[in-house]
Amino acid sequence: MYLPEIPRDEELEAFYRNYGEYKELMPGRLSWLRRILPIRVPDPLIELLEYSGGLRGQQVCEVGCSHGRFLSRAREKGAAVFGVELDEAALQSLRRLGIPAAKAFDTTRKFDVVCAFQLIEHLAKPAQFVEEASRVLEPEGRLLLALPNGGECGKVGCAWIGYRVDLEHLNYFSIASISHLLTRYGVYVEHFWEYHQPNIPRRDQSTGMRAGWKRKAADLLGKLQCEPYQNSGTFVLCVLARKVAAAT
């Protein structure tokens, strides 16, 4: 499912040049709690890659890596990392972290893992991205995607809230349609799951922001992972696929 009018490439490039500012994305900082205690909330995407083939010694590329939070975690697990990012401020953050990055795939390299989280729905040519990802993947290499679950609109209809959460999305996939696209380029789904609810906090009408104590409480609950409804849902579709040397 896709928009009837797709912006031109130069319009999209100009928009994403400062996308982090638009989305209020900031470089990661150590919390006061982590400064005192070595507490690290497990990352399910990192854990999945560890389980499905490991990360130590693997060449990992994340497309749309923003300020490098995921790549930093992968590097801690022993992976050699590379980022693809259009946002200028994020590229500067990656340089400060010592994470090599560029605005396009490094076609001279091969990767064991390519990741793209909340990215493919932003692309005017998603098939071109999958083709490039398949080209740079080693045989048996893994492609890990997270994207809005377009299959929900089959249950909800045209009023599905996913169409209104982020208005810069250009296309939506169900598990069937993303699987069909991947197999065209020799990449086959191994595992998928659906989770999460859309992030749509209500704002205080007078100030435009949530009340102070409510905001602090919400932040604290998020850190403690005590939001019972957040992980119970089908709003996000996560897909782990693998490139095969020859289709069977």
Q: Which tens digit of pLDDT belongs to each residue from 198-209? A: 877 666 555 554
pLDDT score of 105? 86
pLDDT score of 227? 55
Task: Let me know if residue 46 belongs to a domain.
Answer: yes
Note whether 56 and 114 are same-domain residues: yes
* CA separation for the pair 162, 156 (Å, rounded): 10
pLDDT score of 108? 84
Contact assessment for residue 52 and residue 190, using Cβ atoms and an 8 Å cutoff: yes
pLDDT score of 22? 78
Q: β-strand 187-195 against 101-102: which pairing, if any? A: unpaired
* CA separation for the pair 149, 141 (Å, rounded): 24
Task: Let me know if residue 1 belongs to a domain.
Answer: no
Task: Let me know if residue 163 belongs to a domain.
Answer: yes
Reading the block at residue 12, the tokens are 């999209």
pLDDT score of 48? 94
Note whether 189 and 221 are same-domain residues: no
pLDDT score of 51? 94
Task: Let me know if residue 3 belongs to a domain.
Answer: no
Task: Let me know if residue 4 belongs to a domain.
Answer: no
* CA separation for the pair 244, 246 (Å, rounded): 5
Q: β-strand 59-63 against 187-195: which pairing, if any? A: unpaired
Residue partners of 30: CB distance under 8 A and separation at least 6: none
Note whether 94 and 183 are same-domain residues: yes
Task: Let me know if residue 173 belongs to a domain.
Answer: yes
Domain carrying residue 219: 203-228
CA distances from 190 to 119, 183, 194, 235 (A): 20, 12, 14, 20
Note whether 152 and 87 are same-domain residues: yes
* Maximal C-alpha separation, the chain: 61
Reading the block at residue 186, the tokens are 């020799």
Note whether 165 and 219 are same-domain residues: no
Task: Let me know if residue 137 belongs to a domain.
Answer: yes
pTM of the model: 0.85
Give pLDDT < 70 ranges for the chain: 26-40, 201-231, 246-248
Note whether 103 and 207 are same-domain residues: no
Q: Number of structural domains, the chain?
A: 2
101: β partners: 83
Note whether 162 and 207 are same-domain residues: no
Closest by CA position to 151, among listed 91, 183, 193, 115: 193
Note whether 220 and 131 are same-domain residues: no
Question: Residue 182 burial by CB count (10 A; 0-12/13-18/19+): exposed, middle or buried?
Answer: buried
- For the stretch 136-180, pLDDT in tens is 999 999 999 999 999 999 899 989 999 988 889 999 999 999 999
Residue type, position 232, single letter: S
Residue partners of 222: CB distance under 8 A and separation at least 6: none
CA distances from 79 to 42, 112, 166, 177 (A): 17, 10, 32, 31
* CA separation for the pair 37, 223 (Å, rounded): 14
Note whether 172 and 209 are same-domain residues: no
Note whether 23 and 36 are same-domain residues: yes
Residue 59: CATH number of its domain: 3.40.50.150
Note whether 223 and 106 are same-domain residues: no
Contact assessment for residue 143 and residue 241, using Cβ atoms and an 8 Å cutoff: yes
pLDDT score of 185? 96
Task: Let me know if residue 248 belongs to a domain.
Answer: no
Note whether 56 and 179 are same-domain residues: yes
